[in-house]
């Protein structure tokens, strides 16, 4: 009896060491790992970033003119056209693969009195406009969305600043009701300038163009630090 007990220790150790050797030899998969960088796992919404508390991607009031739009991504095309050297037409993947990505925490404020602070990720719209090559006569950019919504900006606002066209918010893909595939992060502008479900970006020489809400009494510049009423 005594001898059997003494044998248990080395036998147990051999089994444990054996299991450890087997597991050490099995390669562990590391998705999306950048050498030396963190492993990014998709699908988890972040709620704070560099000291900023972020709103949830679900903390919005859905008040779009025709409700949430369902964009079929295999049919989806983004067109940059109008007063440009060449009209560019992109698929969803082409936009994300061909241009550098940027992230930024920006607050969206709606004229209804609510706001949300979100970590946005996307491409800079000026990179796409530059690629199309603005004609010297162009001074205005009109955006059109899947629901027929439109809004416009001075060309200078989009070219002189870091204006993001977002495809992710808080590290998750834009949900359908938040503008999938793309929403413009129109910094320092009222929420009605943050066009969702963007399909067309058209350069024009008509600074008097008025978008959907702008035709209904909201200011054309949409500047946050000014009244949104154009009357």
Ligand X SMILES: Nc1nc2c(c(=O)[nH]1)N[C@H]1C(S)=C(S)[C@@H](COP(=O)(O)O)O[C@H]1N2
**103, 115 in Cβ contact below 8 A?**
no
Q: Binding mask 190-219 vs Mo ion (x if CB under 5 A, - otherwise)?
A: -xx---------------------------
Q: Which residue, 105 or 110, is less far from Mo ion as judged by CB?
A: 110
| Separation CA 10–CA 176 (nearest Å) | 61
Minimum distance, C-beta of residue 63 to Mo ion, in the bound complex (Å): 6
Minimum distance, C-beta of residue 92 to ligand X, in the bound complex (Å): 16
Q: Which residue, 135 or 173, is less far from ligand X as judged by CB?
A: 173
Minimum distance, C-beta of residue 217 to ligand X, in the bound complex (Å): 13
Q: Which residue, 84 or 185, is less far from ligand X as judged by CB?
A: 185
Structure tokens at 93: 């993947």
Minimum distance, C-beta of residue 197 to Mo ion, in the bound complex (Å): 15
Minimum distance, C-beta of residue 147 to ligand X, in the bound complex (Å): 5
- How many other CB atoms sit within 10 Å of the CB of residue 209? 18
Q: Does 110 bind Mo ion (CB under 5 A)?
A: yes
Q: Which residue, 191 or 222, is less far from Mo ion as judged by CB?
A: 191
Residues in contact with ligand X by CB under 6 A are 60, 62, 64-65, 110, 145, 147, 149, 178-179, 191-192, 194-197
Q: Does 134 bind Mo ion (CB under 5 A)?
A: no
How are beta strands 164-169 and 140-145 bridged, if at all?
unpaired
| Separation CA 103–CA 118 (nearest Å) | 10
| Separation CA 131–CA 24 (nearest Å) | 50
User: Any residues with CB less than 8 A from the CB of 215 and at least 6 apart, and which?
Assistant: none
Nearest partner of 105 among 159, 64, 48, 59, judged by Cα: 48
Q: Which residue, 90 or 213, is less far from ligand X as judged by CB?
A: 213
**77, 89 in Cβ contact below 8 A?**
yes
Binding site for Mo ion (CB under 5 A): 110, 191-192
């Amino acid at each position: 009896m005594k001898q059997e007990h003494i044998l248990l220790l080395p036998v147990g150790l051999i089994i444990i060491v054996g299991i450890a050797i087997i597991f050490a030899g099995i390669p562990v998969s590391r998705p999306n790992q950048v050498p030396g960088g963190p492993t990014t796992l998709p699908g988890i919404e972040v709620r704070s970033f560099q000291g900023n508390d972020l709103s949830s991607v679900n903390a919005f009031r859905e008040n779009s003119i025709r409700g949430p739009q369902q964009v079929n991504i295999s049919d989806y095309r983004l067109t940059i056209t109008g007063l440009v050297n060449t009209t560019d037409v992109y698929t969803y993947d082409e936009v994300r693969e061909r241009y550098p990505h940027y992230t930024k925490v920006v607050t969206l404020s709606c004229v209804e009195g609510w706001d949300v602070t979100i970590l946005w990720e996307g491409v800079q719209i000026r990179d796409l406009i530059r690629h199309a090559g603005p004609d010297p006569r162009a001074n205005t950019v009109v955006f059109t969305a899947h629901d027929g919504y439109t809004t416009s900006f001075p060309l200078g606002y989009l070219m002189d600043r870091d204006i993001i066209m977002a495809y992710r918010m808080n590290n998750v893909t834009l949900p359908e009701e938040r503008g999938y595939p793309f929403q413009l992060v129109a910094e320092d502008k009222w929420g009605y300038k943050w066009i969702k479900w963007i399909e067309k970006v058209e350069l024009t020489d008509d600074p008097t163009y008025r978008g959907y809400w702008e035709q209904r009494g909201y200011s054309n510049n949409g500047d946050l630090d000014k009244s949104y009423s154009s009357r």
